[in-house]
Amino acid sequence: MSVKEYAVVTGASSGIGAATARLLAKNGYHVIAAARREDRLAQLAKEDSNIEPFILDVTDQKSIEGLAAHLKGKPVSILVSNAGGAFDALAVTDADPELWMKTYEVNVVGSVRMVAAITPIMKSFGRGHIVIISSTAGHIVYENGGSYTSAKAGETALARTLRLELSGEPIRITEIAPGMVKTDEFGMVRYGGDAERVAKIYEGVQALTAEDIAEAVRWSVMLPHHFNIDSMIVRPLAQAAQHKVHRVPSVK
């Protein structure tokens, strides 16, 4: 890089977002680590001088406009739209519509807001790369996950639509769809802090880590600019498909 390019990572206070911020910073990017939790971001920024914390709520348009104003005129070449999550594990017939709206607002509309705010800055710089962190849940549905699978399908559709609409622009679009990834918070949030229930999901499986997905992001964005990864599905070896997981009792 002739200049230190900027990479914006949302949901950077934990999990995949934090791991991605660390790895891109190690590879020479000035990383805007954006999330709501100021204390977590402050700790992350202490790890590397290339990481700049920024308090951001992707569901708040004014918050995003504040980030865009902060970045105006900067060499922003990467957006990793990672902020998201699952907030219930209910059957559709038992669904709480408020949780469905929250899931959609954070995952899909949050990504839309970020893309709309950052794309003009990338165009001013002369090139860019938008990475949407979706999920295999958006490709294949499963029981009791309707709010999350629907939202992630929306992100997959968003990435595909962007690729068509930005055709001819110097902006790459990549969807990265992780399968089973073990992080500290995802399952705990989804299952209301039920640690035993969360542990059952990963029992007997060497799941992917946040660092694994960060490496997929790093590889994608550091390829030559004419080389675009449209969509990458990343699963652990043990997960042959959404419902096909090989479990070994000794694995923890």
Q: Where do the domains of the chain lie, and which CATH numbers do they carry?
A: 6-245 (3.40.50.720)
Distance CA 145, CA 89 (A): 5
Averaged pLDDT, 129-150: 96
- Whole-prediction pTM: 0.95
pLDDT by residue (tens digit) across 153-203?
999 999 999 999 999 999 999 999 999 999 887 878 888 888 888 888 889
CB burial of 127-152 (b: ≥16 within 10 Å; e: otherwise) equals: ebbbbbbbbbbbbeeeeebbbbbbbb
Instruction: Give 81's strand partners.
Output: 132
Q: Which amino acid is at 81?
A: S
The band of 252, judged by pLDDT with boundaries at 50, 70 and 90, is low
Bridge partner residues of 55 (DSSP) = 35
148 labelled catalytic? yes
Spatial separation of the C-alpha atoms in residues 186 and 87, rounded to whole Å: 9
User: Does 233 have pLDDT greater than 90?
Assistant: yes
Contacts of 206 (CB under 8 A, 6+ apart): 236, 237, 238, 251
Query: Do 37 and 13 meet the contact criterion of CB atoms below 8 Å apart?
Result: yes
Residue 79 CB neighbours (<10 A): 28
What sign has the CA pseudo-torsion 104, 105, 110, 113?
positive
Model confidence at 222, pLDDT cuts 50, 70, 90, reads very high
CA distance 108 to 184: 22
From the list 6, 29, 148, 202, the catalytic residue is 148
Chain centre distance of CA 87: 16
Matching residue, tokens 């001088």 = 49
